[in-house]
Amino acid sequence: MPGKVKVIVLAGNGINCEYETAYACTAAGANTVDTVHINELLRGEYAVGNYHLLCLPGGFLDGDDLGAAKACANRFRHATIANTGERFWDQMLHYIERGGLIFGICNGFQLMAKLGLVPALEGGYGEQKITLTFNDSGRFEDRWVHLKVNTASPCVFTKGMEKVYLPVRHGEGKFVAADHSITSQLKKKGLICLQYSDEACREATMEYSLNPNGSFNGVAGICDETGRIFGLMPHPEAYLHRTNHPRWTREELPEEGAGLAFFKNAITYIREHLC
């Protein structure tokens, strides 16, 4: 409906942050937030085209067999929607063409990378150019990190932000590009939205544990050239209120957690451009 922001949040098959993500969308001002199982999408009971924002939350899709989110990426590329016979991938491409937003967090970012939804240079959706692989530490990392925001990025979700403090929790978060030319294009076009940094957030770092996974150039999040499709490894949905902060009893903090800004930016963009 005109003026009504509609969000679809993916669930099922190992996703485990759908409730926090859905709550963040509601708190940010979305009018309708539907949490939908993967199988409901593929049966045609819901269609991404009926929404303005598609959220791909964190978790462990299909147990991360074949690598994080790889099995689901294969499923989404080749699945046919039961009630229509339409390829799910074609539905996704149409959703992107008409201006829809996609927000991938942690496992959702891994899924986007393996589907080729980001960086999709020159509109090349479906061409995998990056991946998120095993952390250099060789273990699961569960800690809070400082992130430098690229203020020159076209990213819709990071508008007005300069730095942010968020938790990470992943075993495969190391950003790797197919070759140096991909990294060069990401830098040139401003598509590197977030980088691991020190507390001052002046520059990216490779220092462990400030950079928890060894991502080259400290890359923590990237977008496509439209700025509407964005993935990051840290978890903004895990910092929506001051009590989510690890030092909330020892520091004076705003009531609203910094992670909510990503969702508010998306909702604002939708109201201004899609409703």
Cα of first residue to Cα of last residue in the chain, in angstroms, is 8
pLDDT of residue 2: 54
pLDDT of residue 242: 98
201/147 Cα distance (integer angstroms): 6
211 domain residue, yes or no: yes
Residue-averaged pLDDT of the chain: 97
Is pLDDT at 201 greater than 90 in this prediction? yes
CATH number (domain holding residue 212): 3.40.50.880
Task: Give the residue among 185, 187, 167, 161 at the shortest CA–CA distance from 262.
Answer: 161
Length of the chain in terms of residues written: 275
123 domain residue, yes or no: yes
270/3 Cα distance (integer angstroms): 9
108 domain residue, yes or no: yes
Is pLDDT at 1 greater than 50 in this prediction? no
By annotation, the residues acting in catalysis are: 106, 235, 237
Q: What is the pLDDT of residues 15-29, one digit of tens each?
A: 999 999 999 999 999
Percent of the chain with pLDDT over 70: 99
1 domain residue, yes or no: no
Distances (CA, A) of 235 to 122, 143, 260: 28, 11, 10
Domain count, the chain: 1
167 domain residue, yes or no: yes
Q: What is the pLDDT of residues 86-140, one digit of tens each?
A: 999 999 999 999 999 999 999 999 999 999 999 999 999 999 999 999 999 999 9
178 Cβ contact partners less than 8 Å away, ≥ 6 residues apart: 128, 129, 130
List the structure tokens of 265: 């930016």
User: 83: pLDDT confidence band, cut at 50, 70 and 90?
Assistant: confident
CB atoms within 10 A of CB 103: 29
CB atoms within 10 A of CB 198: 15
212 domain residue, yes or no: yes
Range of the domain at 195: 6-273
Pairing of strands 130-133, 32-37: unpaired
- The tally of CA atoms less than 13 A away on the side-chain side of residue 150 is 25
67 domain residue, yes or no: yes
pTM of the predicted protein model? 0.97
Helix 70-78 and helix 88-97, axial crossing angle in degrees, nearest 10: 90
